């Protein structure tokens, strides 16, 4: 999967920071949004496709389709940004055998029992457990909203949960 340049969890999916900052930082020309609900909602999928610049190819696909394509080698070439809406979506793909070297956690909103680990990113213990599972198998997990901000490692984020 050498064509995948960045794998990011961000509940906002395609938005200004992804397009203007991360696109240039990792030099991508294709975005793949992996989300079961969106893949079945043509109207909402079209909104995300239209949110991208005209020269950016965007696909919205299901977890199953992503796993099949990854395992068939479709992502071995290219300059691709993969976006997941939630950590559980990544874990589903991960448990089907698609593992990433690096997983970046971007925007995750605050809410019930969630703790802010960096500005704009909040997790709870369930999120931490899912991420620790993937990290235990070799995936480096970092938290970073924009490229200008320092990366926070998963172990440091978990410590913030225990305070």
Q: Across the strands, what pairs with 31?
A: 58, 81
Per-residue pLDDT tens for 57-72?
999 999 999 999 999 9
Categorize the per-residue pLDDT at 160 as very low, low, confident or very high, splitting at 50, 70 and 90. Answer: confident
Q: Determine contact, residues 105/11, Cβ cutoff 8 Å.
A: no
Asked if the model's pLDDT at residue 20 lies above 80, the reply is no
Among residues of the chain, what percentage have pLDDT more than 70? 98
Average pLDDT over residues 99-106: 96
Q: Two tokens at 51? A: 């949110």
- Compute the radius of gyration of the chain from its Cα atoms: 15
Domain ranges of the chain: 4-161
Per-residue pLDDT tens for 117-149?
998 899 999 999 999 999 999 999 999 999 999
Distance between CA 78 and CA 98 in Å, rounded? 17
CATH number of the domain at 4-161, please? 3.40.35.10
Q: Two tokens at 8? A: 């990011």
Model confidence, pTM: 0.93
């Amino acid at each position: 999967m050498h064509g995948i340049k960045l794998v990011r969890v961000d509940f906002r999916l395609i938005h200004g920071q992804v397009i203007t900052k991360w696109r240039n930082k990792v030099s991508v020309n294709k975005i793949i949004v992996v989300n079961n609900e969106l893949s079945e909602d043509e109207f909402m999928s079209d909104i995300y496709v239209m949110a991208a610049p005209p020269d950016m190819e965007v696909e919205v696909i299901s977890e199953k389709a992503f796993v099949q394509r990854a395992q068939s080698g479709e992502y071995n070439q290219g300059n691709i940004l993969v976006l997941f809406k939630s950590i559980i979506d990544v874990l589903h793909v991960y448990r089907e055998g698609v593992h990433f070297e690096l997983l970046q956690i971007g925007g995750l909103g605050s809410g019930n029992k969630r703790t802010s680990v960096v500005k704009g990113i909040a997790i709870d213990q369930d999120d931490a457990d899912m991420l620790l599972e993937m990290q235990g198998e070799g995936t480096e997990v970092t938290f970073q909203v924009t490229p200008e901000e320092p990366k926070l490692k998963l172990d440091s984020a978990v410590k913030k949960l225990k305070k």
